[in-house]
């Protein structure tokens, strides 16, 4: 599907040859923490590697009768603490390195919020916007079939990610169920509520970003009411984060998508921006704000910056231009290690992805539990339990950072990697 060596990341053209590798970022983060934890070299080598990697090339019949071959991936990084858990991404930039990184980050994320899952990720190299609904369904069902030897409710549970949604999860669940001969709602999470999905899942990741930002401001003895927020990304995470920030009394001044961003210093009407994007497909068509680039959005003079698009957005080349004093990572891996060092030196607090955007996997776990129990919670219970889990994780990370004299990312990874390493030592090596 991808013939060019260029791709678009949050609206900016980036040469893939010069793009920071998400997997290199993930490994660099791990190596730094492994040294701090003084992990056994053999265990460290094992945790650097992914347990299973499946690459599939599969045919899909297009609407015009052509048969097109697509490439998909499912990677399980670690399952020491439970079944693998991770989303399925449809995007032109999907490749094995990206999926490896995302799977590793899922391992740490699940361990950090203390839910009994390991880490996985999957994806197909495709632009879903170029497919008809029928083509999207056929691609999804064929991909689900190809990876069905790995996934299932007790082994590896997919969820939505960039380019996929509840409908895609419904097709995956139905396909896996047809193979088994009976319905398996617990085979995926993030599916529609009538099929065993949970209320609150769609907005959970974005809502969790706002909850974590509020906790970070509380620790700094600053109010969230009136705080200015710029959000790069207006998909599921970015848009729901914007709504959650507004509900908490913050002022969202900028939102963006691939087309660019809109900026209104007095505050955006986020619902209106979302409606505009729904109608035209572009944030920049919203008329009551100034149009800015994604690069300009990252440099706005705001209290809170939320990169919620793709990995590798804050780098060594632009980190010194960041003016926000609090960065809350809605996306996975948006900040490179070089940028991290620059931001820390500048006194910028970065709440890492594995903590900041963990609301989605927390509520996915709630959905999985509800599916097995055949008993479902109301929205108030889902939100109350999610906030409890996220705030407990933030408190643990903050305490670790203070005790160790480190940034929040290092502290979060110390907690998470330490938990996974302990589980692996307790399980031992078979045979």
Give me the domains of the chain, ranges plus CATH numbers.
50-195 (3.40.50.10860), 204-355 (3.40.50.720)
Q: Which is nearest to 259 in space by CA: 331, 305, 309? A: 309
Q: Are 160 and 87 in contact (CB under 8 A)?
A: yes
Catalytic residue among 85, 109, 121, 191: 121
DSSP string, 226-251: T-EEEEE--SHHHHHHHHHHHHTT-E
* Phi/psi of residue 145, nearest 5 degrees: -65, -45
Q: Which is nearest to 60 in space by CA: 49, 72, 51, 52? A: 72
- In the chain, % of residues over pLDDT 90: 95
Summarize pLDDT for 31-85 with one digit per residue, the tens: 999 999 999 999 999 999 999 999 999 999 999 999 999 999 999 999 999 999 9
Return the bridge partners of 55, or none. Answer: 73
Kindly compute the dihedral angle of the four CA atoms of residues 43, 48, 49, 54, in this order, to the nearest 10 degrees. Answer: 140
Cα–Cα distance, 48 to 36 (Å, whole number): 15
Query: What letter does residue 21 receive in the DSSP assignment?
Result: P
pLDDT of the residue at 19: 64
Q: Are 76 and 6 in contact (CB under 8 A)?
A: no
Mark 201-214 as b/e (b = at least 16 C-beta within 10 Å).
Answer: bbbbbbbbbbbbbb
Residue 121 designated active-site: yes
Confidence of residue 20 (pLDDT cuts 50, 70, 90): low
Q: Return mean pLDDT, the chain.
A: 94
Cα–Cα distance, 128 to 136 (Å, whole number): 7
Q: CA-based Rg of the chain, rounded to a whole angstrom?
A: 20
Q: What is the mean pLDDT of residues 302-306?
A: 98
379 sits in which H/E element: helix 379-404
pLDDT of the residue at 231: 98
Q: What is the mean pLDDT of residues 311-326?
A: 97
402: burial class by Cβ within 10 Å (0-12, 13-18, 19+)?
Answer: exposed
Summarize pLDDT for 204-256 with one digit per residue, the tens: 999 999 999 999 999 999 999 999 999 999 999 999 999 999 999 999 999 99
**Is the pLDDT score of 2 beyond 90?**
no
SS (H, E, C) 171-198: HHHHHHHHHHCCCCHHHCCCCCHHHCCC
pLDDT of the residue at 190: 98
pLDDT of the residue at 13: 36
Q: Which is nearest to 254 in space by CA: 284, 225, 279? A: 284
pLDDT of the residue at 52: 98
């Amino acid at each position: 599907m991808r013939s060019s060596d260029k791709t678009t990341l949050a609206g900016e053209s980036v040469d893939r040859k010069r793009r920071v590798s998400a997997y290199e970022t993930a490994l660099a983060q791990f190596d730094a923490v492994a040294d701090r934890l003084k992990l056994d070299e053999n265990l460290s080598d094992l945790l650097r590697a992914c347990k299973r990697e499946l690459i599939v090339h599969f045919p899909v019949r297009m609407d015009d009768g052509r048969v097109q071959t697509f490439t998909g991936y499912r990677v399980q990084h670690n399952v020491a603490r439970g079944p693998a858990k991770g989303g399925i991404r449809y995007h032109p930039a999907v490749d094995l390195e990206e999926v490896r990184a995302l799977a590793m980050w899922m391992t740490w994320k699940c361990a950090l919020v203390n839910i009994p899952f390991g880490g996985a990720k999957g994806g197909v190299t495709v632009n879903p916007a170029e497919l008809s609904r029928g083509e999207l369904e056929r691609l999804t069902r064929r991909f689900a079939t190809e990876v069905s030897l790995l996934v299932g409710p007790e082994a590896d549970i997919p969820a939505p990610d960039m380019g996929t949604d509840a409908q895609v999860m419904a097709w995956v669940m139905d396909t896996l169920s047809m193979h088994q001969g009976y319905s398996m709602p617990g085979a995926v999470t993030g599916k529609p509520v009538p099929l065993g999905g949970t209320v609150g899942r769609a907005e959970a990741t974005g809502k969790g970003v706002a909850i974590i930002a509020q906790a970070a401001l509380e620790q700094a003895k600053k109010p969230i009411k009136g705080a200015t927020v710029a959000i790069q990304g207006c998909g599921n995470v970015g848009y729901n984060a914007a709504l959650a920030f507004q509900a908490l009394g913050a002022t969202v001044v900028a939102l963006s998508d691939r087309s660019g961003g809109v900026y209104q210093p007095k505050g955006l009407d986020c619902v209106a921006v979302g409606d505009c994007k729904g109608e035209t497909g572009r944030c920049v068509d919203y008329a009551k704000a100034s149009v800015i680039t994604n690069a300009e959005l990252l440099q706005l003079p705001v209290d809170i910056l939320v990169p919620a698009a793709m990995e590798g957005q804050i780098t060594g080349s632009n980190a010194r231009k960041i003016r926000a004093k609090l960065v809350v990572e809605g996306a996975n891996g948006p900040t490179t290690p070089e940028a991290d060092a620059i931001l820390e030196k500048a006194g910028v607090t970065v709440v890492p992805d594995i903590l900041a955007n963990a609301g989605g996997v927390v509520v996915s776990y709630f959905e999985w539990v509800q599916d097995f129990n055949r008993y479902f919670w109301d929205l108030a219970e889902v939100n109350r339990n999610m906030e409890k889990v996220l705030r407990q994780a933030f408190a643990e990370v903050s305490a670790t950072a203070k005790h160790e004299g480190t940034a929040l990312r290092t502290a979060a990874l110390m907690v998470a990697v330490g938990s996974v390493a302990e589980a692996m030592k307790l399980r031992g090596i078979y045979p």
